Amino acid sequence: MAEASEIPDVAMSELQLCPPPPPDELDRLLFHLPLEDFGRRLQRASQAVFPNNMKSRYTKVHVLLLCWEDGDPKLPVFRELMELENVFREYYNFETEVWKIPSKKSHHALNTKILEVVELEDDSRDCLKIVYYGGHGLLAPNRQLLWSNIPDKNDSGYRSIKWFAIQATLEDAEGDVLLLLDCCAAGTAATDNGHGVTELLGACAFNNTANGVGEFSFTDALCKELWAFRKVPSFTVGRLYNNLLRRIQLSPSHMTIQKAPVHVVLTQDYELPRSIQLSAMPRQLENAEDSKTPPQFESTSSLPKLESISSRLRPPTIDPMQTSSRGSSFSKVEEATADSSSHERTDSSRTSISLDANTYPRIMLSVQLPGNVRPDQLSEDLFLEWLRMIPAVAECIKVEAGWASLSTLIIVSIPMSIWKYVEWHPAIRLVGIVQSPNLLAPKQVERRGVVASMSAPAGNNPQEKRGEGVEAILSISVPVGNDPQERKERMEMERKEIEMMEVWIETERREMVRIEKERKEMEMEIERREMEVGKREMEMVRMENERKEMEIEMERMELRIEMKSKEMEMVRMEKERMEVEMERMEVRMEMVRIEKERKEMEMEKMEVKMEIERREMEMVRIEKERKEMEIEREEMDIEMERMEVRIEMEIERIEIVRMEKESKEMEVKRIKVKMEMMEVRMEMKRKEKERKEMEMEAIPSMSAGAEDDPQEKKGRG
């Protein structure tokens, strides 16, 4: 109760107002992931970042670089944009296009342009699209990204673009898309709704502001890293991001930690996770010269060469475990940035993983495994033995710690380059980003004698500690009795204790001498490291002064070039004026010629008109003759018709005579036939009469019924 009363009221109120852990945090403790599944996830992630096939899958790469037509004059991004375009075009042989966003109908124009880029090569999977943007960015009320030409919304010239709506078009493309956004609020949530792989590298998170144009900018670091990767056969976006993060945050030229870039996998093929691979196109590989000549930028860039800039970030590597305090922190920074030479040495996926295995920063993860294990089963060697079936992962995984929890909880660290490609699971949680080995790892210190069971008073001086400890031990009073034997035994015990103390004092003295020697050696090492750091800082200051002098010289050259350009412009304008005068004279001569031709055409028109009149008269005469001939032809036709009528009448008359003759002959024949028929009828009547008489004679008597029915009788006959 007394201890509780000593707690201030403010602290007590804060403790009372602190909310309990949310339910989802407690629910996640129930999820577990078998080690085999965790290993498979790491294997897929490592294969995505370090594929065995070092050849890029793309036959064509199109780069679209975007900036505002009326951008903010306080943010001159066009210079860095052209440097990035030069790196893509000259060293990677990519097809580049610089496009300025218009001030009128900005959203519609950009959307149309993005649709054109998506449809390049018929949206083939063999064509990679890279979209870069440099300018202002901000969050909309719906927490989505907007692009703007100036930061002030109240300005009359303010223009904005709903990038989150246009980005959906790129995510839905069949081919792979890489987004490079050097603007504020660049980080966005993954939609996980698309066909190809879409990855985003942004200058900062969605709730942060990006660095301005200059040495600390995202585009400047991107140019340097791409130039450093120029001779690598193939590298993934994950590796590019890992090097970007180290360069921006851990460079010794940056005296303060800069804002970290972000890497977001917007869409992914989870059946076979992969990262976008970049490499120079074949023509670039054929024409590349193996020389140490640094890239030459155009005079418009007004910046020194990339190699001279990137060379500042190549101090000698120092082992962080061999330093202490201040010196160790600088050595870690140097180790993190002294990897540019490894760009060219890397020629296989296994080499890449081994390089990343001992490189910082790294991602620290906590993994909940099912079941409890013994402490001796949580060793790093045993864990790597568990992962022996996936050696590519075993080289880059480090077991930092392990505990028996509700099941088993282990802390592992992995390279940052593969973190974004590890499939999500509730049992895997992000602990943080580490930039050094475990600083609180237990160290084995040699202990001798009884010092292991005793503790000296706290102090800053080791000799003072030893003196105070001895004084405390020697101040112990031993009671002495009256019995001589007892007194003798007590004195013997005291002597033995004194001998033991002398042994302990000698042991402690030797230990203190050794510790003092190690301390002096450590101080000398620290002084040497500090001298090296001082020399390096002086070298950096000298190089910075040289860079500024080069910038001043470049500005002078630009002024001279500008004056020369103005003189050439005046000469060109005078030449153009003379050309205009000559053109005017030629125009006047041309007008005279045209007037002459017009008169000639008038004469020709009159001649043509007369010829037309003559031809019209000739046509009238011909028409008259034609009509006369028509009349004669009609008369002849009438006469012919008359003759035909007479011929037809004569033919009809002859036919009538013939028909009359034939009819008379037919009448005679008909009469003859009629007479023959009458004779035949008379003969038949006679024969009928004879038959009846014969029947009357043959049948003298007939029945009454038969006699009464003359019809039946007639029928029999």
Written as one string, the DSSP assignment of 24-50 is HHHHGGG----HHHHHHHHHHHHHHHS
Provide the pLDDT for residue 353: 45
pLDDT in tens, 80-107: 999 999 999 999 999 999 999 998 899 9
**Domain with 84 in it:** 59-233
Asked if pLDDT for residue 516 goes beyond 90, the answer is no
Same-domain check for residues 91 and 218? yes
Separation between Cα atoms, residue 105 and residue 393, nearest integer Å: 50
**DSSP state, 377?**
G
pTM, to two decimals: 0.47
Please report whether residue 518 resides in a domain.
Answer: no
Helix (H, G, I), strand (E, B) or coil at 434: strand
Provide the pLDDT for residue 133: 95
Separation between Cα atoms, residue 201 and residue 224, nearest integer Å: 15
Same-domain check for residues 321 and 438? yes
Same-domain check for residues 123 and 211? yes
| Token pair recorded at residue 243 | 């090097």
- Which amino acid is residue 253, in one-letter code? S
Least reliable range by pLDDT among 463-467, 500-504, 510-514, 701-705 = 463-467
Same-domain check for residues 145 and 174? yes
Q: Report which listed range, 109-118, 378-387, 402-411, is most confident.
A: 109-118
Burial (CB < 10 A; 0-12, 13-18, 19+), residue 324, is middle
The stretch 613-626 carries a mean pLDDT of 92
Same-domain check for residues 143 and 229? yes
Separation between Cα atoms, residue 158 and residue 155, nearest integer Å: 5
Backbone angles phi, psi at 361, to 5 degrees: -75, 160
pLDDT band at residue 67, thresholds of 50, 70 and 90? very high
The stretch 125-148 carries a mean pLDDT of 91
Give the CB-side neighbour count of residue 685, counting CA atoms within 13 A. 6
Same-domain check for residues 99 and 39? no
Asked if pLDDT for residue 484 goes beyond 50, the answer is yes
Same-domain check for residues 198 and 82? yes
Q: Report which listed range, 233-247, 281-295, 467-481, is most confident.
A: 233-247
Residue scoring higher pLDDT (704 or 27): 27
Provide the pLDDT for residue 503: 81
Same-domain check for residues 42 and 166? no
pLDDT band at residue 238, thresholds of 50, 70 and 90? confident
Boundary (domain end) residue, out of 391, 426, 442: 442
Q: 145: Cβ–Cβ under 8 A, 6 or more apart, which residues? A: 137, 138, 139, 163, 164, 167, 185, 186, 188, 206
Among candidate residues 347, 85, 60, the one with its CA nearest the CA of residue 176: 60
Burial (CB < 10 A; 0-12, 13-18, 19+), residue 514, is exposed
How many structural domains does the chain have? 2
Please report whether residue 366 resides in a domain.
Answer: yes
Q: 71: Cβ–Cβ under 8 A, 6 or more apart, which residues? A: 77, 78, 135, 149, 150
Angle at which helix 484-698 crosses helix 325-337, to 10 degrees, equals: 30
Please report whether residue 507 resides in a domain.
Answer: no
Residue scoring higher pLDDT (426 or 128): 128
What are the start-end ranges of the E strands in 460-579? none
> Read out DSSP for 291-350?
S-PPPPPPGGG----HHHHHGGG-PPP--GGG--HHHHHHHHHHHHHTTTHHHHH--SHH
- Expressed in angstroms, the distance from the first to the final Cα of the chain is 161
Please report whether residue 293 resides in a domain.
Answer: no
pLDDT band at residue 34, thresholds of 50, 70 and 90? confident
Please report whether residue 44 resides in a domain.
Answer: yes
Helix (H, G, I), strand (E, B) or coil at 687: helix
Please report whether residue 531 resides in a domain.
Answer: no
Q: 51: Cβ–Cβ under 8 A, 6 or more apart, which residues? A: 234, 236, 274, 277, 349
Please report whether residue 427 resides in a domain.
Answer: yes
| Token pair recorded at residue 527 | 């002084």
Separation between Cα atoms, residue 377 and residue 387, nearest integer Å: 14
Longest dimension (CA), the chain: 211
Least reliable range by pLDDT among 39-43, 49-53, 199-203, 511-515 = 49-53
With contact defined as beta carbons under 8 Å apart, do 163 and 146 qualify? yes
Provide the pLDDT for residue 508: 76
Boundary (domain end) residue, out of 388, 415, 442: 442
Asked if pLDDT for residue 636 goes beyond 60, the answer is yes
Please report whether residue 321 resides in a domain.
Answer: yes
Same-domain check for residues 32 and 171? no
Boundary (domain end) residue, out of 422, 442, 462: 442
Same-domain check for residues 39 and 94? no
The stretch 673-699 carries a mean pLDDT of 88
Separation between Cα atoms, residue 378 and residue 220, nearest integer Å: 44
The stretch 382-407 carries a mean pLDDT of 62
Asked if pLDDT for residue 478 goes beyond 60, the answer is no
Asked if pLDDT for residue 638 goes beyond 60, the answer is yes
Percent of the chain scoring above 90 in pLDDT: 23
Same-domain check for residues 85 and 183? yes
Residue 192 is part of a domain; what is its CATH number?
3.40.50.1460
For residue 412, the tally of other CB atoms under 10 A from its CB is: 22
Same-domain check for residues 227 and 329? no
With contact defined as beta carbons under 8 Å apart, do 299 and 561 qualify? yes
